[in-house]
């Protein structure tokens, strides 16, 4: 796989992609893209495509030909009709992890069903306009209080069915082996091979 521009500056996400894909990933700021992208899609797919198209347009305007990878992912809680979903990063405020977690716990107080899943939708946009998609889900439930060492997003509240522990209690390797992002990347690679 060639060098890929990732439509993100999220250091945690960049590291995850590097570990799983084992290829050269360039965050969008390294190519000079510093604009905020308005994610006004109604689905994970729409938002990931919006991000990929914005960065791809920027590259083309500069005569650069790179594949662009974008993802939109989030936590979907069954008892909350799929919330926070596409609003996961700003559920309780503007990209405030602790506020997001507190709102989630508050909204689940009277709900016996705490089952949930993380969803990831990846879009790889090639310079010729070809779109390859990857989808991944990982299932578990929401704990009543924080667990583990990491305060990243919802990891300390999400108990993974496959791992038998919270994501924040897992090693990066364990998490990547079952994570929604890891599964979406595997799905993307399968779909890429079908197109080649």
Residue 169: phi and psi, rounded to 5, are -95, -10
For CA atoms 29, 34, 35, 38, the dihedral sign is positive
Read off the pTM: 0.89
Whether 72 is catalytic: yes
- Which residue in 71, 72, 155, 187 is the catalytic one? 72
Residue 93: phi and psi, rounded to 5, are 155, -170
Pairing assessment for the beta strands 131-142 and 165-166 based on DSSP bridges: unpaired
Question: Domain extents for the chain?
Answer: 4-195
Q: Alpha-carbon distance 37 to 158, whole Å?
A: 28
- Would you write out the chain's pLDDT as a tens digit for each of its 196 residues? 578 999 988 877 888 888 878 788 899 999 999 888 888 999 999 999 999 999 999 999 999 999 999 999 999 999 999 999 999 999 998 778 999 999 999 999 999 999 999 999 999 999 999 999 999 999 999 999 999 887 889 999 999 999 999 999 999 889 989 999 989 999 999 998 887 6
**CATH code, residues 4-195:** 3.90.950.10
With 0-12 / 13-18 / 19 or more C-beta atoms within 10 angstroms meaning exposed / middle / buried, residue 75 is buried
């Amino acid at each position: 796989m060639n060098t890929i521009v990732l439509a993100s500056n999220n250091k945690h996400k960049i590291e995850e992609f590097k570990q799983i894909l084992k290829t050269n990933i360039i965050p969008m700021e390294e190519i000079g893209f510093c604009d905020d992208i308005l994610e006004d899609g109604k689905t994970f797919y729409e938002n990931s495509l919006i991000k990929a198209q914005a960065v791809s347009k920027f590259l083309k305007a500069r005569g650069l030909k790179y594949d662009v990878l974008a993802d939109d992912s989030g936590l979907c809680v069954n008892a909350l009709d799929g919330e926070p979903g596409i609003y996961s990063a700003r559920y309780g405020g503007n990209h405030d992890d602790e506020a997001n977690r507190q709102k989630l716990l508050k909204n689940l107080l009277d709900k016996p069903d705490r089952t949930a899943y993380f969803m990831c939708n990846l879009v790889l946009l090639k310079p010729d306009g070809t779109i390859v998609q990857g989808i991944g889900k990982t299932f578990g439930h929401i704990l009543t209080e924080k667990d583990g060492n990491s305060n990243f997003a919802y990891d300390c509240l999400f108990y993974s069915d496959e791992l038998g522990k919270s994501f924040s209690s897992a090693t990066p390797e364990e998490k990547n082996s079952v994570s929604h992002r890891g599964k979406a990347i595997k799905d993307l690679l399968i779909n890429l091979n079908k197109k080649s």
